Homo-oligomer: A and B are copies of this chain.
Amino acid sequence: MTKATIIGGGVIGGGWAARFLLNGWDVAIFDPDPEAERKIGEVLTNARRALPSLYDKALPEEGALAFHSDLAEALTDATWIQESVPERLDIKHSIFDQIAEHAPKDAILGSSTSGFKPSELNEKGAAAIVAHPFNPVYLLPLVELVGHADTCARAADILKTIGMFPLTLRKEIDAHIADRMLEAVWREGLWLIKDGICTTEELDEAIRMGFGLRWAQMGLFETYRIAGGEAGMKHFLAQFGPCLTWPWTKLMDVPEFNDELVDLIAGQSDAQSGHRSIRELERLRDDNLVGMMRALKLTETGVGGVIKAHEASLPAPQPRDLPITVDRAIPQSWTDYNGHMNEAYYIEASGQATDTFMEMIGCDAAYIADGGSYFTIENHIRYLSELKEGERLTITTQVLKGKGKVMHLFHRLWGPGEVLAATVETLLLHVDLTKRGTSDPAPELAAKLEHYASAHADLPWPEGAGNFVGQR
């Protein structure tokens, strides 16, 4: 078992504690703040909710968490010591002195400092490295490492085992790398607010509705490599180099834009991305954007809200003999290693068909908010022909039974050319969401369901309905 000692238990210290703990490390906290236990508890609650969600495997058993008022006890047997005290050099020097007295000899001492260089941290004789994480520490993998090369290498190996991404700097510099870019944007942002060009909200929209999404999956240079297109990175640089002297920001202290700089950047960009064509990079970017944008639909945040609003304005499908309950394209994120729509998304799609049918009989968001809904009890899916990325998918819904608590539906999934791609037989029961048990539907709803049930009663019994698995 390995042990991490966390010195200073704010949002950052708490995030470190959670990251270690949920990866099976024991964690000792040292923080004189009487509120530390509550604050760290709140970060841990968030972390326990979020971090395991990233993985399709269980994380190791949590380690033991202990709070100490005695620094020596907190440091006993520590493999990693992480300092996250306030950003003042005198405070950091003083705590490093105390740590030096009690720390195991080969423990790594990392500082969460946003701005100080190792030469500043260690000017009184400490042997700390910068290990600068990003909030929320339990989710975001980046840790900037700066300092003694061997210690950074050992630190990097440990950070990888707790799911982090160590980025070791080639030279020390104030504020490391990421915070330099954040500070540049911060300074420009303050000008924009002060000059009345936009509000904080508008500025945030300018980020998250556009380049923020690009940067979540590729960074500045790979994005611009794509923008340069077939003409390449040098072409892009030639196009945007001159802007450096234009008043496109108020931050005018610019480097000289010469051939040497162009060659340096173009060469590094080739090394970074040259193994992929621009076409491949574009598709990778688009797949990533689609996946992330679809994820944001769930909470309707940022672009997710824009897509939901636009989707609501799209026309409803036109009914045939049976109601059409889904009409859509198949996203590439629904396909798998077999090169076709993954089996789970047939249920995602038939679930959408069930939702549409529920709305048709009045079981809409308002009805559900009032405490009534349907739960699926059984599904039987027959996969009849493959569906591919980008193909149009429509679903028709036939009511097999609609009486009392029972709703028994038969969805037919139609691929291009009216090919029957799958059938989903689904049995649902009406429930009371507050009691989490079955209940009778509201009378208007029951009436509408029975209306469809009797309208469909004379239709032929669908081939495959009522079958067991493997029945011919």
Contacts and interface: CB of A to CB of B under 8 A. Distances in A.
Interface stretch (A67-75, A91-99, A296-304): A296-304
A419 interface: no
A269 interface: yes
Nearest to A389: B49
A250 B249 contact: no
A319 to B, nearest CB: 15
B58 A307 contact: no
A379 B190 contact: no
Contact of A60 (B179, B188, B203, B314): B314
A248 to B, nearest CB: 4
B204 A244 contact: no
Contacts of A365: 337
B185 A220 contact: yes
A373 B338 contact: yes
Interface residues of A, number: 189
Interface in A89-114: none
Interface string A373-411: 101111111110010011010000000000000001000
A163 B308 CA distance: 9
Interface stretch (A1-9, A25-33, A137-145): A137-145
Contacts of A141: 209-210, 303, 306-307
A201 interface: yes
A219 B211 contact: no
Best-surrounded residue of A11, A185, A201, A331 (most CB of chain B within 10 A): A185
A60 B121 CA distance: 61
Nearest to A256: B194
A339 B375 CA distance: 11
Contact of A175 (B190, B214, B249, B310): B249
A322 interface: no
A204 to B, nearest CB: 3
Contacts of A321: none
A317 B191 contact: no
B139 A290 contact: yes
A252 interface: yes
A390 B49 contact: yes
A286 B251 CA distance: 33
Contacts of A316: 57
A265 B200 contact: yes
Contacts of A290: 50, 53-54, 139
Contacts of A306: 141, 163-165
A315 interface: yes
A178 B209 CA distance: 10
B310 A248 contact: no
A384 to B, nearest CB: 9
B218 A215 contact: no
A378 B198 contact: no
A366 interface: no
Given A194-B255, A216-B216, A294-B295, 20 more contacts: A52-B390, A53-B333, A59-B314, A142-B205, A163-B306, A163-B310, A169-B198, A171-B196, A178-B211, A181-B203, A186-B240, A204-B219, A204-B220, A251-B253, A344-B345, A344-B347, A375-B383, A378-B382, A380-B380, A427-B469
